[in-house]
Amino acid sequence: MTKIYFVRHAKPDLSIQDDLLRPLTNIGIIDSKKVTEFLLDKQITKTFSSPYKRAYDTVKDFAERVNLHINIIEDLRERKIDDIWIEDFDAFAREQWNNFDYKLERGESLNEVQKRNIAALSEILVENPNENIVIGTHGAALSTIINYYDKNFDYSDFERIKPLMPHIVCIDFEGTKAMKIKEFIL
């Protein structure tokens, strides 16, 4: 059995529009310590993260505390919306959940995000059987992963978890097959 704790990042500073470099707010930094406390007794053996600063920084305190290297996996990044900041994110997200192939001109569809994230996750699972693993991730990326294993997870679930930062979801795997999905609200 492999356990993966997906840690959706803590509260980001939305005044920084660069997705890659967007840091955590002061509250987000404080909340990342709650992630550490939650994970300390989980016998975590490996840590992975999206390359985005907010995801990395949310699991950084934990990794440093237990002396684990954070492996950056480019394909665990959040979806690309477009090269420009969009004002009506809710309408955009709703449209994407209604049509998994919908995307803006320079963005990604949820289908593309899901395929990319599941491929990266499958590689982690194959290379690290029977480990307890942490993955620093994002709301849409995590939602598409959950949706891959549980088709009942839809836009209403995405909306429900959208304000939860940080948010932890643990999935138990036998090989690459998800056996159980459990959410933890900190």
Where residue 45 sits, what CATH number does that domain have? 3.40.50.1240
Domain count, the chain: 1
Q: How confident is the model at residue 117, as a pLDDT?
A: 98
Note whether 80 and 108 are within 8 A (CB): yes
Rounded Cα distance, 3 and 21, in Å: 29
* C-alpha separations of 36 from 32, 48, 87 in Å: 7, 14, 33
User: Which has more confidence, 185 or 127?
Assistant: 127
Least confident of 17-26, 28-37, 92-101, 129-138: 17-26
Q: Which domain holds residue 36?
A: 2-184
Q: How confident is the model at residue 83, as a pLDDT?
A: 85
Tally: H helices and E strands in the chain: 6, 6
Strand arrangement of the beta sheet that strand 70-72 belongs to: 70-72, 46-49, 132-137, 2-8, 167-174, 177-184
Rounded Cα distance, 28 and 25, in Å: 5
Buried b (16+ CB within 10 A) or exposed e, 107-124: bbbbebbbebbbebbeeb
% of the chain exceeding 90 in pLDDT: 91
Mean pLDDT (whole number) for 37-52: 98
Q: How confident is the model at residue 174, as a pLDDT?
A: 98
User: Left, alpha or beta for 25 (phi > 0: left; psi -120 to 50: alpha)?
Assistant: beta
Which tens digits make up the pLDDT trace of 50-86?
999 999 999 999 999 999 999 999 999 999 998 888 8
Mean pLDDT (whole number) for 23-46: 98
Closest alpha carbon to 78 in 99, 98, 58: 58
The single residue listed with the structure tokens 């939602």 is 143
Mean per-residue pLDDT over the chain, rounded: 96
Q: How confident is the model at residue 70, as a pLDDT?
A: 98
Would you place residue 19 in the very low, low, confident or very high pLDDT band (cuts 50, 70, 90)? confident
Using a 10 angstrom Cβ sphere, with 0-12 exposed, 13-18 middle and 19 or more buried, the burial of residue 9 is buried
Tokens representing residue 155 in the block? 């836009």
Q: How confident is the model at residue 26, as a pLDDT?
A: 97
Q: Which H or E run includes 168?
A: strand 167-174
